[in-house]
Chains A and B, each alone.
Chain A
Amino acid sequence: MLKAIWDNIKGLYSLVVGLSITGRYLLSPVETIHYPRQVVDDEILASFRGPIQLTLGKKDPAQTRCVSCQMCVKACPGHCLKVTKGEAKAPVAWTYDFSYCCLCGACVESCPTGALEFSHKVYLVTVSREELIFDLLADLKKRAATRAEAPTPTGSAATGSASIAASAGSAAPAPPAAGTAAAAAQPSPKPAQA
């Protein structure tokens, strides 16, 4: 009986502990990023898994590594991929309907040649569903062209992913660095850097 009463009184101390924690949070600066005025660093975006894209080719960056084996098409639970095989193994059309994509990554996992990867497009916005159907081959060509204009990875990553590219080593076609650079070069509704 007395012990129960004493326990209850001691329990009041935990209320004070809780109040002190929230009081400390109340006074500490906010953690959230105010999107239109501020954006997160590209360093954080390197781990962001956005819509998939084709990886840059090993010899010619504009040439995809895809061999049209249709493994990704079979693996996709949302049926959002369509790969048309050409004369050789290389695909002639690669459409990706992002409106059906659940970002599960089954296509990336199943690809035997490593032709697919997640992009880091965090600011992807469209005004219609049709715009969400991407032609990934054209996208790859565009990214390769942007990379060709600025040859070194550190140079292409002018918007702030320089540290990532540097940490990925001096090897030019390091996939994460290239991906980040490509994402940064995408024509997205990118706000001014705060």
Chain B
Amino acid sequence: MDLSLAIFVQIIVAALLVIGLMVGNAVVMVYMERKVAGFIQRRPGPYEVGPWGTLQALCDSMKLLAKQLYRPGNVDIILYYLAPILAFFPVLLLFLPIPFGPYLTALNVNEGIILILAFAGLGVLSNLLAGWSSNNKYSLLGAARAVSQTVAYEIPMILALLAVVFQCGSMDLKNVTEQQGAWPWEWNVLTQPLAFFIYVVSLVGETNRAPFDLPEAESELAAGFHTEYSGMGFALFFLSEYANMLLVSLVAAVFFLGGYKGPVADGFWWIFIKAYAIMFFLVWIRWTFPRVRFDQLLNINWKWLLPLSLLNLWLTAIIVKLLI
């Protein structure tokens, strides 16, 4: 067995594991989201299916699998069916460079964060195609919003990550993790608090979550870009949305919260605990804040996050230059 074949097998195995992770993550997140929503509104949330409603998400996914794939008239058939697939598969690639543990990385890439940021941009293309091909004004409006919002929020996100890259001198996610310690006071969040804040705000915008869920604002746009999708088409969007949430949370954990390092023993459990803590925070703010208006959304980005992240990057560059 030569080396390239070994890497090929490794990537195939990793891709299968990542698909399992995505599906499992969606099931866990649907349950967590509904339970947290319930408790915040002082009601029990899903309760009937399985003990404490734990099987509710499974039943929902069975329902989605069994549903008819309805296609409305006058859609662009190729793009209409391509969009959910295009939403799903790039996310698979994004999980490959994440260091889940000291030796648990699917693909060791020197510039892992560039790979992630480059292919994360494909997600918005699928939203655009879905909205365009659906032949529905709500879908089209949702797609237009998705594009302008995601493109805008990518910039402060990248600049915030770039500050950490300046500080660590590396784009390799494993290297960034290794430079942080096990305990919270050794994490990058202490040296880069502003970057962490900017990153968290822009990841909410990037993953189209409330209060920045303009592309699928229910009260205005029915369901936004996936209005016309049913069954597995919708399920793929849904899966990739939750997978994107997990991904940006994992990146936040790697860059700011010490990745797989933690007290007692390093390992994949720490990165998942940190990532799910961030996701819990996302769910929490979803059920706390009202949806912003679109001009407010873009004002937050262009007038606050972008100048702040540029300032942060500039200060980081100066300090790094002075200290080294």
Contact = CB atoms under 8 A, between A and B. Distances in A.
Are the chains A and B members of one assembly?
yes
Interface of A: 8, 15, 18-19, 21-23, 25-32, 34
Q: Which 4 A-B pairs have the closest CB atoms?
A: A31-B42, A22-B288, A32-B43, A26-B39
Interface string B22-42: 000000000000001011111
Nearest to B304: A8
A144 B293 CA distance: 61
Interface of B: 36, 38-44, 47, 284-285, 287-289, 304
Contact of A19 (B41, B43, B44, B288): B288
Given A8-B304, A15-B289, A25-B39, A30 B44 contact: yes
Given A18-B289, A21-B288, A30-B38, 7 more contacts: A8-B304, A25-B41, A25-B42, A26-B36, A31-B43, A32-B42, A34-B47
A52 to B, nearest CB: 31
A28 B284 contact: no
B12 to A, nearest CB: 41
B43 A26 contact: no
B201 to A, nearest CB: 10
A31 B39 CA distance: 9
B285 A19 contact: yes
Contacts of B40: 22, 25-26
B47 A18 contact: no
Contact of A34 (B44, B284, B285, B288): B44
A38 B2 CA distance: 66
10 contacts: A19-B288, A25-B40, A25-B41, A26-B36, A28-B42, A30-B42, A31-B42, A32-B42, A34-B44, A34-B47
Nearest to A9: B304
A76 B143 CA distance: 51
B295 to A, nearest CB: 15
Nearest to A12: B197
Contacts of B36: 26
A19 B281 CA distance: 10
A29 B284 CA distance: 17
Contacts of A31: 42-43
A72 B47 CA distance: 44
A21 to B, nearest CB: 8
Nearest to A14: B289
A32 B47 CA distance: 12
B47 to A, nearest CB: 7
A26 B40 CA distance: 4
A26 B44 CA distance: 10
Nearest to A21: B288
Contacts of B285: 19
B36 to A, nearest CB: 7
